[in-house]
Amino acid sequence: MAQVERLVDKTGDYFSLMQKAFSFSPMGGIELAEKMRSYTEQNISTASNFVHKLSQAKDFQDIIRIQTEYMQTQFSIWAEQTSGLAEAFTKAATSAVKLPKI
């Protein structure tokens, strides 16, 4: 668990730096960086919970059930995150590129 906590700390530092870099970008991107940070934290938490549950498995069937649940959850989360990132990127790109009115 200590390794997971260190990873979360390092990830937070990375996304703080990324958020600062995005703020200087012509596209802005603060919302995009924030979504990426939030999703990374969510993924780390989900993986940590998976490892915890896996460590408590009683037999091979339990391992398969836990793995299957984790993969189903990850596919659902992945679809949601992909949609959220696409929306944030589109919003940032649209605000960066203002087309002249005809």
Distance between CA 72 and CA 51 in Å, rounded? 15
Over residues 82-93, the mean pLDDT reads 84
Q: Which residue has the higher pLDDT, 70 or 99?
A: 70
Is the per-residue pLDDT at 5 higher than 60?
no
Map tokens 């940590």 to a residue.
48
Nearest to 94 by CA among 38, 22, 28: 28
Which tens digit of pLDDT belongs to each residue from 22-55? Answer: 555 554 557 777 888 888 889 988 999 999 999 9
Three-point CA angle 38, 44, 50, nearest 5°: 135
Length of the chain equals 102
List all residues 6 or more positions away from 73 whose beta carbon is below 8 Å from its beta carbon.
46
List all residues 6 or more positions away from 33 whose beta carbon is below 8 Å from its beta carbon.
15, 18, 19, 22
For the chain, what is the mean pLDDT? Answer: 78
Contact (CB, 8 A) for 50 and 62: no
In this prediction, residue 49 carries a pLDDT of: 92
Which tens digit of pLDDT belongs to each residue from 88-97? Answer: 888 877 776 6
